[in-house]
């Protein structure tokens, strides 16, 4: 049975991703049974650990590879996944694409643009299938360097695509009220300015 832990860490091809030496200190073992507990360890501010955004991108690309295998019969390529994640991390931190990243995004007309100065940007999205009463909303907050500071995910009841997108934005606003005391002081921003971008996918 597929569990979150099996999908992200214990599947035979997923294990090959985590075998890279960069993950030596946080490499999940066969006894892992709580993804959230593992993330708490992986996201600690330790200079010897990989950057949090790289870990997030690894998990995101594992999820995409899983969907490509199920829905497109495309076999995952563990050796390429870490390279793709590093290219994406470079793009987020510099605003410039490497050759591999441009190829990865050649069909996507939208590119993330960092906020100015010490402002933060929150990107939100929603996923809803016509006929369903539930949708998923999520968002991530990043600074001008593209560093992931925090994020949220939730499930809510909707009846239309427009309502799903609106719920994503409303959840984002609520999330910012909770995020503000945790990060504005660290960033040294007296104004505490935030921007919300919404990208809605109808599936």
- Angle subtended by helix axes 52-72 and 78-94, to nearest 10: 130
If one counts every other C-beta atom within 10 angstroms of the C-beta of residue 30, the result is 9
Q: What is the pTM of this model?
A: 0.49
Mean pLDDT value across residues 66-76: 84
Mean pLDDT value across residues 82-110: 65
Q: In this structure, which topology does domain 120-202 adopt according to CATH?
A: Nucleotidyltransferase; domain 5 (3.30.420)
Q: Tokens in use for 112? A: 């993330």
Domain ranges of the chain: 4-104, 120-202
Q: How far is the C-alpha of 34 from the C-alpha of 38, rounded, in Å?
A: 7
Residue 104 has pLDDT above 50, yes or no: no
If one counts every other C-beta atom within 10 angstroms of the C-beta of residue 113, the result is 10
Q: pLDDT confidence of 62, banded at 50, 70, 90?
A: very high
Q: How far is the C-alpha of 15 from the C-alpha of 177, rounded, in Å?
A: 38
Could you tell me if 168 and 152 are in contact, meaning their C-beta atoms sit under 8 angstroms apart? no
**What percent of the chain has a predicted confidence (pLDDT) above 90?**
8
134-177 pLDDT tens trace = 899 999 888 888 888 888 999 999 988 889 999 999 998 888 88
- Tell me how far apart the 2 most distant CA atoms of the chain are, in Å: 50
Please classify residue 122 by burial: count the beta carbons closer than 10 Å to its beta carbon, then call 0-12 exposed, 13-18 middle and 19+ buried: buried
């Amino acid at each position: 049975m597929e569990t979150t832990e099996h999908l992200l860490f214990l599947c035979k091809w997923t294990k090959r991703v985590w075998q890279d030496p960069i993950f030596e200190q946080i490499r999940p073992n066969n006894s892992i049974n709580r993804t959230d507990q593992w993330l708490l360890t992986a996201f600690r501010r330790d200079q010897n650990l990989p950057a949090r955004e790289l870990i997030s991108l690894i998990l995101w690309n594992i999820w995409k590879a899983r969907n490509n295998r199920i829905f497109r019969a495309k076999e995952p390529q563990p050796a390429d996944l870490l390279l793709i994640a590093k290219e994406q991390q470079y793009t987020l931190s510099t605003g410039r694409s490497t050759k591999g990243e441009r190829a990865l995004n050649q069909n996507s007309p939208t590119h993330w643009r960092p906020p100015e100065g010490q402002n933060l940007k929150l990107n939100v999205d929603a996923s809803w299938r016509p006929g369903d009463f539930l949708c998923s909303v999520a968002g991530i907050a990043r600074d001008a360097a593209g560093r992931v500071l925090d994020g949220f995910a939730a499930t809510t009841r909707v009846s239309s695509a427009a309502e799903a997108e609106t719920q994503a934005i409303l959840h984002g606003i609520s999330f910012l009220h909770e995020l503000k005391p945790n990060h504005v002081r660290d960033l040294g921003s007296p104004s505490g300015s935030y921007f919300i971008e919404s990208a809605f996918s109808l599936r």
